[in-house]
Chain A
Amino acid sequence: MIEAMAVLFGLGGALGGGLGLAAYYLRVEGNPIAEEIEGLLPGTNCGQCGYLGCSAAAEGLAKGEIGVAMCPPGGKTLASQLADKLGVEADLSGMKDKGPVTAFIFEDLCTGCTKCLKRCPTDAIVGASRQMHGVVDDACTGCEVCEEVCPTGAITMRPVTDTLMTWHWPKPDTGLAA
């Protein structure tokens, strides 16, 4: 009986110690899911969620510090993707999704101060000192950083409208319950 006890205690000690050592030496730095979440986020570090950048926001999401409906440029689509990834039930009906927007510069108000183009995270604004600036729509993520820094209020966010290339048939409205 002593032998059996010794074997079991020995096994327990060895395995437990092994696990303890493994947890110490082989521990994962950071949360692995944070990296996956970062892959989903726009990556423009616009800061509208309150975090310093997209990787910090991803950490926050992984820790559960912030809800999935946190990213205005990502909108509802991103929120539902995040909810899937994190396995949480998210009520997105209350989330205000303006739909995709892009920046627009009122040419007569722009003074060419270059403040916006220095801040644009995707280099979507082109221009030079005391020259009128313009927005490259395809590169603009609608992060609103430029709108905030513009001293003359010449920048506004406009919803992206359908074109012949992007239009598609709407979902049929049959009036039947799903």
Chain B
Amino acid sequence: MKMFRIKGGIHPDERKDLAAGKAIETVPLPSLLRIPLQQHIGAPAVTVVEKGDEVKKGQVLASARGPVSAAIHAPTSGRISAIGRFVAPHPSGLPGQTITMRPDGKDEWGELPAPIEDPFAVEPDVIAERVAASGIVGMGGATFPSAVKLGLRNRNKLETLVINAAECEPYLTCDDRMMRERSEAVIDGIRILRHALGVERAIIAIEGNKPEALAALKAVCSANQFKDVLIARVPTRYPMGSEKHLVQTLTGKETPARALTADIGVVVHNVATCYAIREAVRFGRPLISRIVTVSGGAMKRTGNFEVPIGTPISHLIDHCDGFNKEPDRLLLGGPMMGQPIASTRTSIVKGSNGVLALCPDETPARQTMPCIRCASCVSACPCGLTPFEMAGHIRKEELDAAVKIGLLDCIACGSCAWVCPASIPLVQYFNYAKGKLTAQQRAKHKQEETKRLTQFREERMERQKRAKQEAMARMKAEREAKKKAEAEKKRAKQETIGA
């Protein structure tokens, strides 16, 4: 298959060998599961259970709110012990709405939706509905609700489904292991997804550093003679797993700025999402667990684990026998785009693909130096931006100038900061600026809305005043009419007396 070159990118030390050889292991249930209601992009889910309820495995705990949201299900059977705010798996460490559940140890399945016997015979909408009901979100880390992506076929003319199995982040091996060990199921999931999107072909994109996974999937395809699934070996280069760059590598087409890949006829799904969709379609099982890579130089034991959603990170670390030395950095996700873990009491959520405990020699702390305009960041940027220039503007609070030269097209992949010889925290500048812009927009929106409220209030006051005046005028008129009538009556009486 012909490949196209993308601009920029880096070759960080992969360190996948730390966990790539370890088979997927299940983790014993923790004594408490803490399940955040916001595990996806969009509106948080709404709880449908109450404190004290006994729930079965797979039962809906919270349902989706609005078009972009995802339902949340019970990862095991047990009792809801609290619904309230708890520190969220978020770099800020701020609290978010969380359901706390105490497993009863029986792990009993509740009533599940009936399996779809032949997914290729049903309408694509039936599959989309099942995916929505199962709370499936993009499991590569972006956590966008998958059902919304399936609905794209009604809006765009789609040609190709690309399965993102690049797994370009160093250390992470969860997708690799899934493809090696569950290759039949993965291929089946991809074919169901292909049918659900109504496209002719699916391309699985795997980076060249995963030959075993590549061979395993190829073996399944050739054994069953599947003609609709192509397997492509893409070059190993970070950030190959960025969907726009992956599509460009495979098709040569560049996604326009701030558009979706669907606008050029391609939909990208993560390989783990395909597996989750297959579970939902073939067995009716919602998304209640995921595979997580635990790795890093500070871990005593590394590996790949199938973890129920809501498992505290500390439980997972304890299961791996803890740390062999004090970790310098604890990350949720990969080392390039992962977020720091504010507290190990937070949970594994649908988008958590890795827990990394890095020791100091893996995270060399370097002194930030002034920018010398060497432009290493410009050649590394896969989006063709000028990171040093944007950071310079942001440092002087000139956010609009940074937007003008493409801040909003930045995918925050971290390639620029990785190559920077002056160790300037470029991505933090960009994240700060993006957040600040959103905050400004929010403030502006609030100002407009409160202005509208003030106007409504003024109009209402005016209306009330007018109504009062009218009522007074009417009363006055009535009084006068009454007086007049009485006077008439009197006169008439007098006249009758007079006559």
Tell me, rounded to whole Å, the shortest Cβ–Cβ distance linking B484 to chain A.
39
From A15-23, A24-32, A107-115, A161-169, give the one contacting chain B: A161-169
Question: B90 touching A164 by the CB < 8 A rule?
Answer: yes
Question: A175 touching B368 by the CB < 8 A rule?
Answer: yes
- CB-CB < 8 A to A65: which residues of B? none
- CB-CB < 8 A to B450: which residues of A? 42-44, 122, 124, 139, 141
10 more A-B residue pairs beyond the given contacts A124-B450, A169-B431, with a C-beta to C-beta distance below 8 A: A121-B457, A138-B446, A139-B453, A141-B446, A164-B90, A164-B94, A166-B442, A168-B432, A168-B436, A170-B432
Distance A77 CA – B439 CA, assembled complex (angstroms): 12
A6 sits at the interface (CB 8 A):
no
Distance A160 CA – B456 CA, assembled complex (angstroms): 25
Interface string of B428-444 (1 = CB under 8 A from A): 11011011101110110
- CB-CB < 8 A to A138: which residues of B? 446, 449
Whether A171 contacts B446 in the complex (CB less than 8 A), given A121-B454, A162-B92, comes out as no
A93 sits at the interface (CB 8 A):
no
Question: A178 touching B94 by the CB < 8 A rule?
Answer: no
Contact of B88 among A42, A43, A164, A175 (CB under 8 A): A164
Question: A45 touching B454 by the CB < 8 A rule?
Answer: yes
Distance A127 CA – B250 CA, assembled complex (angstroms): 60
Question: A42 touching B90 by the CB < 8 A rule?
Answer: no
Distance A159 CA – B424 CA, assembled complex (angstroms): 33
B91 sits at the interface (CB 8 A):
yes
Closest residue to B93 on the A side, CB-wise?
Answer: A167
Interface of A is mostly: loop
Whether A168 contacts B451 in the complex (CB less than 8 A), given A122-B457, A174-B368, A174-B425, comes out as no
Distance A94 CA – B236 CA, assembled complex (angstroms): 54
Closest residue to B438 on the A side, CB-wise?
Answer: A168
A123 sits at the interface (CB 8 A):
yes
Tell me, rounded to whole Å, the shortest Cβ–Cβ distance linking A78 to chain B.
9
Question: A122 touching B454 by the CB < 8 A rule?
Answer: yes
B353 sits at the interface (CB 8 A):
no
A2 sits at the interface (CB 8 A):
no
Whether A163 contacts B454 in the complex (CB less than 8 A), given A138-B446, A139-B449, A172-B425, comes out as no
Whether A168 contacts B457 in the complex (CB less than 8 A), given A42-B450, A141-B450, comes out as no
Question: A42 touching B94 by the CB < 8 A rule?
Answer: no
Question: B368 touching A176 by the CB < 8 A rule?
Answer: yes
Question: A166 touching B370 by the CB < 8 A rule?
Answer: no
Whether A77 contacts B436 in the complex (CB less than 8 A), given A44-B450, A141-B450, A172-B429, comes out as no
Question: B94 touching A171 by the CB < 8 A rule?
Answer: no
Question: A169 touching B432 by the CB < 8 A rule?
Answer: yes
Distance A172 CA – B394 CA, assembled complex (angstroms): 10
Distance A141 CA – B440 CA, assembled complex (angstroms): 15
Distance A170 CA – B91 CA, assembled complex (angstroms): 11
- CB-CB < 8 A to A172: which residues of B? 425, 428-429, 432
- CB-CB < 8 A to A122: which residues of B? 450, 453-454, 457
Closest residue to A44 on the B side, CB-wise?
Answer: B454
Question: A42 touching B447 by the CB < 8 A rule?
Answer: yes
The B-contacting residues of A in range 122-171, CB under 8 angstroms, are 122-124, 138-139, 141, 162-164, 166-171
Interface of B is mostly: helix
Question: A168 touching B439 by the CB < 8 A rule?
Answer: yes
Distance A175 CA – B367 CA, assembled complex (angstroms): 10
Tell me, rounded to whole Å, the shortest Cβ–Cβ distance linking A156 to chain B.
20
Closest residue to B442 on the A side, CB-wise?
Answer: A166
- CB-CB < 8 A to B396: which residues of A? 178
The B-contacting residues of A in range 41-79, CB under 8 angstroms, are 42-45, 77
Question: B92 touching A167 by the CB < 8 A rule?
Answer: yes
Interface string of B271-282 (1 = CB under 8 A from A): 000000000000
Tell me, rounded to whole Å, the shortest Cβ–Cβ distance linking A33 to chain B.
19
9 smallest beta-carbon distances between A and B, as pairs: A168-B435, A43-B451, A169-B431, A122-B453, A167-B92, A172-B425, A174-B368, A172-B428, A122-B450
Contact of A123 among B446, B451, B453 (CB under 8 A): B453
Whether A167 contacts B94 in the complex (CB less than 8 A), given A139-B449, A172-B428, comes out as yes
- CB-CB < 8 A to B446: which residues of A? 138, 141
Interface string of B161-177 (1 = CB under 8 A from A): 00000000000000000
- CB-CB < 8 A to A176: which residues of B? 368-370
- CB-CB < 8 A to A167: which residues of B? 90, 92, 94, 435
Could you list 20 examples of A-B contacts with CB < 8 Å? Answer: A42-B447, A43-B454, A44-B451, A45-B454, A77-B440, A121-B453, A123-B456, A123-B457, A124-B453, A141-B450, A164-B38, A164-B88, A164-B94, A166-B442, A169-B428, A171-B428, A174-B368, A176-B368, A176-B369, A178-B396
Closest residue to B396 on the A side, CB-wise?
Answer: A178
Question: B457 touching A171 by the CB < 8 A rule?
Answer: no
Question: A171 touching B92 by the CB < 8 A rule?
Answer: no
- CB-CB < 8 A to A174: which residues of B? 368, 424-425
The A-contacting residues of B in range 322-350, CB under 8 angstroms, are none
- CB-CB < 8 A to A166: which residues of B? 439, 442
B96 sits at the interface (CB 8 A):
yes
The A-contacting residues of B in range 425-482, CB under 8 angstroms, are 425, 428-429, 431-432, 434-436, 438-440, 442-443, 446-447, 449-451, 453-457
